[in-house]
Amino acid sequence: MSVASIRLFVPSPLRERCEIALGEAQSHYLANVMRAAAGEELRVFDGVSGEWRAQVTKISRKMVLLTALAQTRPQAPEPDAWLCFALLKRAKTDMVVEKATELGVSVIQPVITARTNADHVNLERLRAIAIEAAEQCERLEVPEIRPPLPLARLMVDWPVERTLFVADERRTGALLGNRDGRVALMTGPEGGFTEAELEAIGRTPQVTRVSLGARILRAETAAIAGLALLLAARP
């Protein structure tokens, strides 16, 4: 891998000739792992200003300074799609966050259900996973990762303008397909939602129960497969 192929997410608003001071982890990566040198170029994005070509202007073992040179891609609208998934064990949650980022969601909302295997997450670690996935898959935005919410609280506060497709392992609903507009997908825990939870979810007017296909899927597979169906035809 060459320095020219690297993309980095940076928090600074980007504009021509602005300087970007990288944090310790990114500086270590460029200076000590990739052995970058002053004058080499890479790409950066901030989720707002599009993607930019940037040049390494100062480099040391602990600090790297970049200068933005020119925009390579303007910021473009991305799907307004959320993923609400029952919180899973650490490795599976990490995978769901990574793949959901690659597939293009705007918000990732972990949910605590009756059969959830965990009740807390390291949000900083999950955001780092999402940033790395966005860097590698050429996305211009990094999804928002929200703190876990109990299912009942999520449903009470559900926004009236957003359609919520709930993956039903009983396959009583129609097969989920691509949808436009403000949408969200909810997937359950290992063992599925309880009957009481399904009844409570069903009382929310914005909910449509959908099928993800002919087979019972593992919880992490359901989240990934469902997003693929929901976002298949979106840019």
* Binned average pLDDT, 10 residues per bin, the chain of 235 residues: 91 92 93 93 96 95 92 94 96 97 97 88 96 96 97 95 89 79 94 91 93 90 94 71
**Model pLDDT for residues 23-38, shown as the tens digit of each residue:** 999 999 999 999 999 9
Strand 183-187 relative to strand 163-167, pairing:
parallel
Single-letter amino acid, residue 140: L
**Model pLDDT for residues 103-126, shown as the tens digit of each residue:** 999 999 999 999 997 778 999 999
Concatenated DSSP letters of 10-31: -SSPP-TT-EEE--HHHHHIII
pTM for the complete prediction? Answer: 0.93
Q: What is the Cα–Cα distance from 226 to 38, expressed in whole angstroms?
A: 44
- CA 130 to chain CA mean position, Å: 5
Q: What is the Cα–Cα distance from 36 to 29, expressed in whole angstroms?
A: 9
Domains of the chain and any CATH numbers: 3-73 (2.40.240.20), 81-231 (3.40.1280.10)
Give the number of other CB atoms < 10 A from CB of residue 77. Answer: 9
